[in-house]
Amino acid sequence: MMRVLYFAVSALLWVSCKEQPKTELSAQEIVNKSIFVSGGDNYKNRAISFSFRELDYKSSWEKGKRILSRTGIKDSVRYVDVLKNNTLERTVGEGLVALSDSIANVYSNSLNSVHYFVNLPYGLNDHAVNKELLGEVKIKNKDYYKIKVTFEQAGGGDDFEDVYVYWINKETFKPDYLAYEFHINGGGIRFRVAYNERYLNGIRIVDYENYKASPQKVTLYETDKLYEKGELELLSKIELENVVVKALD
């Protein structure tokens, strides 16, 4: 009798545990949902072109590899930078220009940086990315998951020591805010507010208000509170123009 009772209680406990709803998401699950609502698999088969600060940018795919480009005018001559398979080539006029490794690296980083922000949150599942859920906070009376992002040195690029924080809306799973601390050119902290959201061919596109903070006065993790208090300085607006998103065959 006791044996039957034991198995009956165990079965009830097992069913109870199995049916218990999950109440907490991991950082990885939150990011997965954020990528899904922002474009999901569409990121892998879309060509995205746009203009930003008098330069024309484009990202596309070829055999599963991403190709990034930028076109501009310098001294009345057209130039094109193309980053493919981690190699940058610059064409000026009709000719290919030989670049030193250091200069090519500078051009690659600046080109990749612009495309990285445009395609967020897609890049947050790159293999070199580490994600940590810091908790939940309120900004402007809305609830957010607060996620810290760091990078492994292998595959994390020259700026692997930079640290990012993303505030992902608990209801929509969209990344409405982000902040990062960088170290080049004297370093600093930036806090970005997404606005002018639009979906083009299945991809979420936003512009940003770009605020700055001094790392000598505040930490990266306090920027959300300072933004709410109006204590961050608006540095610039990051506005994309002539945005076109095309499905690839």
User: What confidence tens digit (pLDDT) does each residue in 123-142 have?
Assistant: 999 988 999 999 999 999 99
Domain ranges of the chain: 27-247
The pLDDT of residue 1 is: 45
The stretch 57-83 carries a mean pLDDT of: 93
The pLDDT of residue 157 is: 57
Question: What is the longest distance spanned by two Cα atoms in the chain?
Answer: 93
Fold type of domain 27-247: outer membrane lipoprotein receptor (LolB), chain A (2.50.20)
Residue 65 has a CB neighbour count (10 Å cut-off) of 10
CA atoms within 13 A of residue 175's CA, in its CB half-sphere: 33
The pLDDT of residue 6 is: 41
In the sheet with 203-213, reading across from the earlier edge strand, the strands are 129-139, 142-151, 163-169, 175-182, 188-200, 203-213, 233-238
Q: Is the pLDDT of residue 101 over 60?
A: yes
Q: How confident is the model at residue 111 (pLDDT cuts 50, 70, 90)?
A: very high
Question: What is the separation of C-alpha 33 from the centre of its chain, rounded to a whole number of angstroms?
Answer: 14
Residue 227 has a CB neighbour count (10 Å cut-off) of 21
Contact 60, 67 (CB under 8 A): yes
Average pLDDT, the chain: 88
Q: Is the pLDDT of residue 93 over 50?
A: yes
Q: Is the pLDDT of residue 154 over 70?
A: no
Contact 190, 236 (CB under 8 A): no
List pLDDT tens digits, range 15-49. Answer: 444 434 444 899 999 999 999 999 999 999 999 99
Q: How confident is the model at residue 161 (pLDDT cuts 50, 70, 90)?
A: confident
CA distance 239 to 236: 9
